Amino acid sequence: MRSIPHKAFAMGAITALALAAVSLPATPASARTEAAPQAAAACTPAQAVTNGGFESGTSPWTQSSSTVITSRTGQSAHAGSSYAWLDGVGSTHTDTLSQSVTIPTGCASASLTFWLHIDTAETTTSTAYDKLTAKIGSTTLATYSNLNKNTGYVQKTFDVSSFAGQTVTVAFTGTEDSSLQTSFVLDDIALNTSGDTTPPADSTRTPASPSYTVSLTSNTSGTVWTGHESVTFTNASSTALSEVYLRLWDNYHGTCSAMPITVTNVTGGTAGSLSVSCTALQVSLSSPLAQGQSTTIGFDLGITVPSGADRFGYDGSFVNIGNALPVLAVKDGSGWHLDPYTNNGESFYSLAADFKVTLDHPTSLLVPATGTSTDAAGSSGRTVTTATATKVRDFAWAAGPFTKISGTSPNGVAVNIYSVTGISSSSAQSMLSTAKSAVDAHAGRFGAYPYGELDAVIDNNYWFGGMEYPGFVLDLVSTTALTHEIAHQWWYGIVGDDEYNSPWLDEAFTDYATDLAQGITGTNCWNSVSWASTAEKITNSMAYWDAHSSRYSTVVYTYGKCALHDLRRAIGDTAMTTLLKNYASAHWYGVSTTAEFKAAAQAATSTDLTSFWTTHRIDG
């Protein structure tokens, strides 16, 4: 979203929007019924690994031979004089190193870190002949090979919070094939716990595999919709699920006494308290849901669209209905993600889901929507549009007497442009051409577009520039803006992220993709970087940016994409191209994190990127 920086708008509008971004609607005392947080167990920060630097002999490590933990010549320690040297023989060989550790309960985080150096006599650039596997318990954390050779040591970091309260074995296994040595050298292994809250027993993201079924009927203008929604989901976590939360995002646009989104007559659970300015509804399940079990909740739904050319609003006879369908909040190792709505960006963190949405509306209104749509005759003067979408994070639609033009990209993607009154036919044709070109360009770099058709609603009254939803975007007449919003189909849509806490993972990556599609190399763009404070970082959350809204687009979009251009120059064009395509593939329909991207980038190059992340203020 927000592909056009706020400074492009009138100063009065900017001031009002900045205030709106940090001043949520007042919540009446009667509606403010948030549950008190449970008391957390005390946390004593601890280092669970003993003798991680190997400077105190070999105890309590278990090694496959007496030569694994060593200070002999041929390799060097990261610090001190001793290290662990696995393999390096040049013939069929296996070395192991392990230690049993106990991870205490009551701490918010537990991180396993180690420093790794790999050198090899292998010359291949494509085949992993020799491998090192890092495990905790029965879980494989990572596998490295001769392809990951590097100069010096690189630190590796893994979140192991889900093992809190357990005694598990940290283990490394190195294997070589019959010829050409590869040495896997480890040092300064640590498992640090910290924080003062109790993490859930399982950091798995849940509820998983949601499937939404929705049936709504509109009034004559498409500004009011009523009907029913149900969602079936599975508990993927080993912790029993006794409740879920529905995000009623568009209640931000009203008050708790006059909510645009209403949920009533809940089945499959009991409606509880509304919280976060009435954008989160707790539903207690009829019975706790064990790991692997599924259930369904249902409810009657009412949607009243307010006036305004917004992602949720109507402007004249044209209606946008974004973020209106209640969707399940995500629970992971940090607990439930119940972040506030932000008008400065996005808060819409959700897991990939299936939707079947039936929209009964006047035939005079066209209804572009997420997914693939079919129309059927309804009652007198009405049409029933049925839209189906697979593995999408949200569902949005519009309604109005649009002018529609259609085409197909060279790679076969159906593209529809819906224009409001005042958009010229030449502008619409230009946007159709841009959309067809952009969807194919992004698909060529990151993987085939999976959502069937692509709909774009074009309106020059949008104050926000543009907004992305799966298979459906809102935009100004702008080649750059539309190319940006279509790139979001990959960076947020296919490759998900926690948009509130890590906005750079979709916005910076999308702006970088936009540059690539338009042939912009970003040469010298990092030279214009000027930080406003030591606290300002590309990886800051929307909580920070809502308090520093004038810097949001500059840092997250511009500095973020410039950092990615710099990364491409640091590791090479070919490596960067491969990195992003493989990273998208590895997180296809999943959720990405900054730490995972940094690890993938480091694995793609022999250059130590530690100073790169520091210079570019990319933390995590």
Handedness of CA 611, 617, 618, 619 (dihedral sign): positive
HSE on the CB side for 84, CA within 13 Å?
Answer: 32
Q: What is the per-residue pLDDT for 197?
A: 41
Q: What mean pLDDT do residues 269-281 have?
A: 93
| Contact of 525 with 562, CB cutoff 8 Å | yes
Q: Looking at 409-558, which runs of residues are DSSP E strands?
A: 414-419, 454-458, 466-469, 472-475
| Contact of 258 with 278, CB cutoff 8 Å | no
Q: What mean pLDDT do residues 293-314 have?
A: 97
Place of tokens 């013939």: 91
Q: What is the per-residue pLDDT for 525?
A: 94
Q: Work out the burial of residue 287: count CB atoms within 10 Å of its CB; fewer than 13 is exposed, 13-18 middle, 19 or more buried.
A: exposed
- Would you say residue 32 has pLDDT above 70? no
Query: Per the confidence metrics, is the pTM higher than 0.75?
Result: no
**Domains, the chain, ranges and CATH?**
46-194 (2.60.120.260), 402-491 (1.10.390.10), 503-616 (no CATH)
* DSSP strand pairing (382-392 vs 466-469): unpaired
Catalytic one of 453, 468, 485, 499: 485
Cα angle at 56 between 55 and 62, to 5 degrees?
A: 100
Convert 369-392 to b/e letters by CB count within 10 Å (16 or more is b). bbbebeeeebeeebbbbbbbbbbb
**Residue bearing the bigger pLDDT, 169 or 154:** 169
- Would you say residue 2 has pLDDT above 80? no
557 tagged catalytic: yes
Whether the upstream peptide bond of residue 60 has omega within 30° of 0, thus cis, is: yes
Q: How far apart are CA 592 and CA 166, in angstroms?
A: 26
Residues in a beta bridge with 42: none
| Contact of 98 with 135, CB cutoff 8 Å | no
HSE on the CB side for 114, CA within 13 Å?
Answer: 26
Q: What is the per-residue pLDDT for 104?
A: 80
Give the confidence band of 23 by pLDDT, cuts at 50, 70, 90.
very low
Side chain identity at residue 4, one-letter code: I
**Torsion angle, alpha carbons of 247, 250, 255, 257, to 10:** -70
Q: What is the per-residue pLDDT for 108?
A: 65
Q: How far apart are CA 455 and CA 370, in angstroms?
A: 8
Give the confidence band of 80 by pLDDT, cuts at 50, 70, 90.
confident
Catalytic one of 153, 418, 449, 557: 557
Q: How far apart are CA 399 and CA 19, in angstroms?
A: 29
Segment among 2-16, 80-94, 401-415 with least mean pLDDT: 2-16
Q: What mean pLDDT do residues 65-90 have?
A: 93
Indicate the angle between helix axes 479-487 and 504-517, nearest 10 degrees. Answer: 130
Side chain identity at residue 211, one-letter code: S
Q: What is the per-residue pLDDT for 136?
A: 95
Place of tokens 């694995």: 603
3-state secondary structure of 580: helix
**Residue bearing the bigger pLDDT, 269 or 18:** 269
Q: What mean pLDDT do residues 125-140 have?
A: 94
> CA separation (Å) from 286 to 34, 210, 248, 297?
20, 18, 21, 9
Segment among 126-130, 153-157, 238-242 with least mean pLDDT: 153-157
Give the confidence band of 151 by pLDDT, cuts at 50, 70, 90.
confident
Q: What mean pLDDT do residues 109-122 have?
A: 90
Q: What is the per-residue pLDDT for 44?
A: 58
Place of tokens 């049993």: 100
34 tagged catalytic: no
**Residue bearing the bigger pLDDT, 308 or 3:** 308
Q: What is the per-residue pLDDT for 585?
A: 95
Secondary structure string (H, E, C) spanning 36-104: CCCCCCCCCCEECCCCCCCCCCCCCCEECCCCCEECCCCCCCCCCCCEEEEECCCCCEEEEEEEEEECC
> CA separation (Å) from 203 to 40, 239, 505?
17, 9, 20
Give the confidence band of 236 by pLDDT, cuts at 50, 70, 90.
very high
Residues in a beta bridge with 172: 97, 134
Q: What is the per-residue pLDDT for 17?
A: 30
How many other CB atoms sit within 10 Å of the CB of residue 610? 14
Q: How far apart are CA 452 and CA 415, in angstroms?
A: 9
- Would you say residue 228 has pLDDT above 50? yes
| Contact of 85 with 67, CB cutoff 8 Å | yes
Q: What is the pLDDT of residues 198-213, one digit of tens each?
A: 444 467 999 999 999 9
Give the confidence band of 45 by pLDDT, cuts at 50, 70, 90.
low
Q: Among residues 198, 184, 195, 191, which one has the least CA distance to residue 167? A: 191
Q: What is the per-residue pLDDT for 72?
A: 93
What's the mean pLDDT when you consider all of the chain?
A: 90
Q: How far apart are CA 185 and CA 86, in angstroms?
A: 6
- Both structure tokens of 605: 């190059």
Q: What mean pLDDT do residues 550-563 have?
A: 97
Per the annotation, where are the binding residues? 484, 488, 507
Secondary structure string (H, E, C) spanning 146-212: HHHCCCCCEEEEEECHHHCCCEEEEEEEEEECCCCCEEEEEEEEEEEEECCCCCCCCCCCECEEEEE
3-state secondary structure of 281: strand
Q: What is the pLDDT of residues 584-596, one digit of tens each?
A: 999 999 999 999 9
Cβ partners under 8 Å of residue 161, min gap 6 = 107, 108, 109, 110, 111, 199, 203, 333
Per the annotation, where are the binding residues for Zn(2+)? 484, 488, 507
